[in-house]
């Protein structure tokens, strides 16, 4: 158990809908990272938040957004869902901003299925 | 942009034997970090080992060790005394050494099957 929690574990929804994925980092960690794992794209970085502020964006669609709250938990919002958004979404956390090559610890993931 | 390549989509090894997984990467950076993560059937991403590019000594963690060749941009993982529990997908990952968002760039993965 990495100490990173993600809810829900599974999510089934329909095209066009909106969902919110939640992540709680390890105790004391200030950075949260979101990754998407899909069959065709592999594991891809989406976005990084440090202590409530966005630090970096990767291949994140405009339909997707995220935020990190004062208690350091983070939410990833996916809207206007398409079949291709079906994937495993991971959250990871690290202690600081990651400048020293900090190890990222991954949560169990949320499996999203869009029908 | 950095790229990470794992040229072996699938591998198998007999229990108790040794196996080596390959990884190459492309970067213009001089300072960076490399990681191997394991993803068993449970889908959890588990850190196996990490290597700092400025260190010449290869990292080791129990039965896991790496062969880091900076000039060749190669970072292979050796698993000794393979166990059934080592059956998993293995991902090689690269991280830049700066504060501008330290995302991991992953390779496509190698599926390892340990046979009894």
User: Residues B48, B37: contact at Cβ < 8 Å?
Assistant: yes
Residues 6+ apart with CB under 8 A from A108: A4, A5, A6, A9, B42, B43, B44
| B99 closest CB neighbour out of A43, A45, A97 | A97
**Residue A52 predicted with pLDDT over 60:** yes
pLDDT digits (tens, 9 = 90+) for A76-95: 999 999 999 999 999 999 98
Do A99 and B47 make contact, defined as CB atoms within 8 angstroms?
no
Rounded distance, CA B8 to CA B11, Å? 7
* Positions in chain B short of pLDDT 50: none
Give chain A's mean pLDDT: 93
Q: Average pLDDT for residues A12-39, to the nearest whole number?
A: 96
Nearest CA in chain A to B95: A101
Residues of A with a Cβ under 8 Å from any B Cβ are: 2, 33, 35, 42-45, 48, 55-58, 88, 90, 92, 94, 97-106, 108-109, 111
pLDDT score of B70 = 94
Using left for φ > 0, alpha for ψ between -120 and 50, and beta otherwise, residue B112 falls in beta
**Residue A100 predicted with pLDDT over 90:** no
């Amino acid at each position: 158990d990495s100490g990173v929690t993600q809810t829900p574990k599974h999510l089934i929804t329909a095209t066009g809908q909106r969902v919110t994925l939640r992540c709680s980092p390890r105790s004391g960690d200030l950075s949260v990272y979101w990754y998407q794992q899909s069959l065709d794209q592999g594991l891809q970085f989406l976005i990084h938040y440090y202590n409530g502020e966005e630090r970096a964006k990767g291949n994140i669609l405009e339909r997707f957004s995220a935020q990190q709250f004062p208690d350091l938990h983070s939410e990833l919002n996916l809207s206007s869902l398409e079949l291709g958004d079906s994937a495993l979404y991971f959250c990871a956390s690290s202690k600081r901003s990651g400048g020293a090559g900090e190890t990222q610890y991954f949560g169990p993931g949320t499996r999203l299925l869009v029908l | 942009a950095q790229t990470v390549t794992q040229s072996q989509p699938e591998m198998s090894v007999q229990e108790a034997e040794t196996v080596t997984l390959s990884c190459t990467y492309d970067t213009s950076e001089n300072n960076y970090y490399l990681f191997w993560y394991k993803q068993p059937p449970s889908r959890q991403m588990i850190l196996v080992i990490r290597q700092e590019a400025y260190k010449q000594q290869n990292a080791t963690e129990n039965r896991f060790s790496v062969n880091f060749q900076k000039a060749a941009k190669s970072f292979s993982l050796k698993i000794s005394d393979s166990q059934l529990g080592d059956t998993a997908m293995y991902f090689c990952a690269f991280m830049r050494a700066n504060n501008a968002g330290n995302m991991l760039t992953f390779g496509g993965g190698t599926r390892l099957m340990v046979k009894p």
